Amino acid sequence: IVIMHARDTVLPDDLPMFGAEAPPAASYNFDSYREAADAYEREYIQRKLAEAEGNISRTAELMNIDRSHLYRRMKALGLQRPPENGT
């Protein structure tokens, strides 16, 4: 889980209700273009992973990129590889 917040401490009132849609990355105030681009890409990959039910090959296919590139971007963005079925 990645939590983006303006302060160092996240309080219970800062968290969305269960099942609530998170605000888009565009609604955050970033200090640099790189931070904003990374936040957008992280959010995009997470949405595609959810759409593909955690299947990396299918996610890469949906994104029209090589699976190896998806793995590299996930690592660079601090995203965890989804657990395989049955583990």
**pLDDT value for 30:** 87
What domain count does the chain have? 1
Give CA–CA dist 68/60, Å, rounded. 9
pLDDT, position 87: 47
State CA 20 to chain mean position distance: 16
> Whole-model pTM above 0.85?
no
Runs of H (alpha helix) within the chain: 33-51, 56-63, 67-76
Domain-embedded: residue 2: no
Q: What CATH number is given to the structural domain containing 64?
A: 1.10.10
Q: For position 23, what pLDDT does the model report?
A: 62
- Does the residue 81 lie in any domain? no
Alpha carbon distance 45, 39 (integer Å)? 10
User: Is residue 47 a part of any domain in this protein?
Assistant: yes
CA 30 to chain CA mean position, Å: 16
